[in-house]
Homo-oligomer: A and B are copies of this chain.
Amino acid sequence: MILSTKGRYGLKAAFELALNYGGGPVSLKTISSKYNISENYLEQLLAKLRKQGFIETVRGVNGGYMLARKPEEITVGMILRALEGEMTPSDCLSGDVCTRESVCATRVIFEQIEKGINNVIDNTYLGDMVRQNSKVMQEAKLL
């Protein structure tokens, strides 16, 4: 599995906040019970997103989490990288040693895989996900 629960849970939570964008804070309990994720664990993931400026919090009664920016300004890649670290298939792309000589050919592959992934996650915004979702929900209603 390429993504750990960090990325998967965190993206779900971020999406939930995007769904509720503009409607006040959403509590941890609400999210964790809706997606069936451990409350304390999710809290740690959301803390990471907060420290990196993607979400804001309101403490106290009726408090909770909310996106710090518009859903149209946050990409899936930003969320995943904040939680999982850089999405690179090989450290040989992180500019270390690379003895060249034949290794190069595998390096090219790693670069292409990386591009393939980035192409998706850097071009999809939380706002896109919300739109996509409402479309799916509408279609479901027609059945």
Contact = CB atoms under 8 A, between A and B. Distances in A.
Given A1-B90, A2-B117, A3-B89, A124 B106 contact: no
Say how many copies of this protein the assembly contains.
2
A119 interface: yes
A15 B101 CA distance: 12
A94 to B, nearest CB: 9
Contacts of A119: 116
Interface stretch (A40-48, A54-62, A127-135): A127-135
B110 A133 contact: no
Number of chain A interface residues as a range: 35 or more
A123 to B, nearest CB: 9
Nearest to A94: B1
Given A113-B121, A117-B113, A117-B116, A106 B3 contact: no
Contacts of A105: 15, 129-130, 132-133, 136
B90 A35 contact: no
B1 A106 contact: no
Contacts of A103: 12, 35
Given A2-B2, A8-B89, 18 more contacts: A1-B88, A1-B90, A3-B89, A3-B110, A8-B90, A8-B106, A8-B110, A15-B102, A15-B106, A19-B102, A76-B109, A104-B136, A105-B130, A108-B129, A112-B120, A112-B124, A113-B120, A113-B121
